[in-house]
Amino acid sequence: MILTITLNPAIDVRYKIDNFEINNVFRGNSHKTAGGKGLNVSRVLQLLGEKVEASGFLGGNSGEWISSKIQEDGIVDSFIKTNSETRTCIAILGNNTQTEILEPGQKVSQEDVNKFLEFFRENINKSETICISGSVPEGVQEDIYEVICELAKDKKVLLDTSGKFLINGIKGQPYLIKPNREELENLLGRELLSFDELLKGAKEIKNKGCKNLLLSLGKDGAIFINENDEVFKINIPKIKVKNPVGSGDSSIAGFAYGLNNGKSMNETLKLSMACGISNAMIEGTGIIDLDTVKDLLEKITIEKI
Ligand code: ADP
Tens-binned pLDDT, residue by residue, of the chain (305 aa): 999 999 999 999 999 999 999 999 999 999 999 999 999 999 999 999 999 999 999 999 999 999 999 999 999 999 999 999 999 999 998 888 889 999 988 899 999 999 999 999 999 999 999 999 999 999 999 999 999 999 999 999 999 999 999 999 999 999 999 999 999 999 999 999 999 999 999 999 999 999 999 999 999 999 999 999 999 999 999 999 998 989 999 999 999 999 999 999 999 999 999 999 999 999 888 999 999 999 999 999 999 99
What DSSP string runs through 136-193? --TTS-TTHHHHHHHHTTTSEEEEE--HHHHHHHHTT--SEE--BHHHHHHHHTS---
By residue count, the chain amounts to 305
Using a 6 Å cutoff on CB, does residue 216 contact ligand 1? yes
CB neighbour list of residue 95: distance below 8 Å, 6 or more residues apart? 18, 19
Give residue 123 CA to ligand 1 midpoint distance, Å.
Answer: 32
| CA distance to 4, 30, 74, 124, 170, per residue, from 104 (Å) | 20, 21, 28, 28, 22
Which residues are known to be catalytic?
249
Whole-structure pTM value: 0.95
From 44, 135, 215, 247, the mutation candidate for ligand 1 (largest count of ligand atoms within 8 A of CB) is 247
Instruction: Name the CATH architecture for the domain at 2-8+36-86+107-304.
Output: 3-Layer(aba) Sandwich (3.40)
Summarize pLDDT for 164-185 with one digit per residue, the tens. Answer: 999 999 999 999 999 999 999 9
Using a 6 Å cutoff on CB, does residue 260 contact ligand 1? no
From 220, 251, 283, the mutation candidate for ligand 1 (largest count of ligand atoms within 8 A of CB) is 251
- Ligand 1 atom index nearest CA of 178: 3
Using a 6 Å cutoff on CB, does residue 134 contact ligand 1? no
Beta strands in 80-155 (DSSP E): 80-82, 87-94, 97-102, 129-133
Q: What angle do the packed helices 265-280 and 37-48 form, to 10 degrees?
A: 110
Q: How far is CA 186 from the centre of its chain?
A: 17
- Ligand 1 atom index nearest CA of 273: 16
